[in-house]
Amino acid sequence: MFADTPRLPYIPDVVWAGDDDARIDRRTDPDAWANAVAADIPLVTQVDDGTDAGHMIPTSSASMPSLVRLMLEQLDPRTDHNVLELGTGTGWSTALLSTALTRGRVTSIEVDPHVAAQAQESLFAGDFEPTLIVGDGLQGYKEDAPYDRLIATMAVRRVPYAWVEQTTPGGVIVTPWGNAYNVSGLLRLVVDGDGTASGPFVGNVNFMWARSQRSAFDGRRFVGDVIPDPKTRRVRHTTTDPRPIREEHADFAIGLRLPDVEHRTYFGQGDRFATWYADGESWASIDYKPGADSFEVNEHGPRDLWAEIEAAYEAWRDQGEPPREQHGITVTRDGQSTWLDGPNGRVEIGPASGA
C-alpha cells in the first residue's frame, strides 16, 4: 500500500518543518522540500486557517509516515470495507485507503474548503475517486453509512455518538483524543451491538484539534494574555519535584483528572524551567532549579491548582503508575467514561480531590 502510494504528490509547494517550523518553498528550495517530504516527520501544510493573521498557528498538516502506518494498522481495513475518514487533509491517507480497498468505498470529509480542493486535485490526478465531502466531520456522514471502519485525523475531546451510530457492530473507530491538559492518546474503539463503543488507547500521538474543539487559548500569549498579571499571586514552596510530573504517562493521567487545565513550560538556562497552569480564571506556576530541595509555587484565583496537580499525580502513583495504554474509553448515547484496566468493573477516572 505504502510502496505504491508515496506521499510526495500530495504535499503542497509550501510546508513548515523541523523543530523551528522553518518555512520551505519547493519553488525556491526544491532540495530542502524534497528532503522534508521524504523524511519521517510531520509537515505543517497550512497556518492560521490559510489567512494572513500572522499567529503562525498550524491548522493543517501531513502526519509523519510512521504514524499514518500505525493508525492504518490499528484501523485494519479489509478490501471490501466501507470506510469513513474524517479530515482529508492533503489526501495522502485517503489515497492509501483507496489503494487498500479494492472492492470497498472511501468517504472522506474535510472542513476547510481550500484544503479539500487541493486534496481533490491530487487524488483525481492519481486516478483515485473517493467520495469527498466539505463539512463538519464531527457529524459523520450518514448518507454513506453504515461504515465498517471510521478514522479521524484530528483530535477530539469527546467522541461524537454520531460516529458510533454510523459504524456497524464489530466495526472499528480510530481517533486521536485528548483534553485541555494533554492531547496524546490514540484511541481504538470497537462498536458493540448494544449501541456502545469501547476500547483502549493504543499509542502516543499529537494531532491538531477538530476546529470546533480547539483550545480557548489558541492565538493568545499564555503569560500576558491568559495570565494577565503574574504579579498578583500567592507564593509558597513545595518539595514535590516538578520533573516527573511532566513525564509522558504521568502527564496523560493528570489530564484525565484535570481536563479543563492547560499548561505551558518555558525553559531557561541550563536545566531550569517554569511550568504554568491555567483554567481561564485560576493559575499556578512552579519554578524548577537544579539541586533545590524545594520549589517556588505562585498561584492566583479561587482554585489551588498546584495542590490539585499534586493530588492527581499521587492518585496515579497510588494506582501503580499505569501507562496510557492501560486506560480506555467507553462511549454511549449519554456520553463517554474513562477507565483503567478494562471497561468491565472499570475504575472511573474523575477530577482529583478538590477540583
Which pLDDT score, from 0 to 100, does residue 212 have?
Answer: 87
Say whether 234-318 and 8-212 share the same fold: no
Which pLDDT score, from 0 to 100, does residue 63 have?
Answer: 95
CATH class of 8-212: alpha beta
In degrees, rounded to 5, the angle at the alpha carbon of residue 234 between the alpha carbons of residues 233 and 238 is 130
Question: Where in the chain are the domains?
Answer: 8-212, 234-318
Query: pLDDT averaged over consecutive 10-residue blocks of the chain (355 residues)?
Result: 89 93 96 96 94 87 96 97 97 96 95 97 96 97 97 96 98 97 96 96 94 76 77 90 97 94 92 93 94 94 94 94 95 93 64 41
Which pLDDT score, from 0 to 100, does residue 99 have?
Answer: 94
Residue 310 pairs in a beta bridge with none
Which pLDDT score, from 0 to 100, does residue 228 have?
Answer: 74
Sheet arrangement for strand 82-86: 131-134, 105-110, 82-86, 147-152, 167-177, 185-191, 197-204, 327-332, 335-340
Tell me which residue of 240, 248, 247, 281 sits closest to 262, measured CA to CA.
281
Which amino acid is present at 275? Answer: T
Judge residue 64's burial from the number of C-beta atoms within 10 Å of its C-beta, 0-12 exposed, 13-18 middle, 19 or more buried.
Answer: middle
Active-site position among 63, 98, 108, 285: 63
234-318 maps to which CATH number? 3.30.160
Which pLDDT score, from 0 to 100, does residue 348 have?
Answer: 55
Residue 98 appears among annotated catalytic residues = no
Which pLDDT score, from 0 to 100, does residue 52 have?
Answer: 86
Which pLDDT score, from 0 to 100, does residue 344 have?
Answer: 67
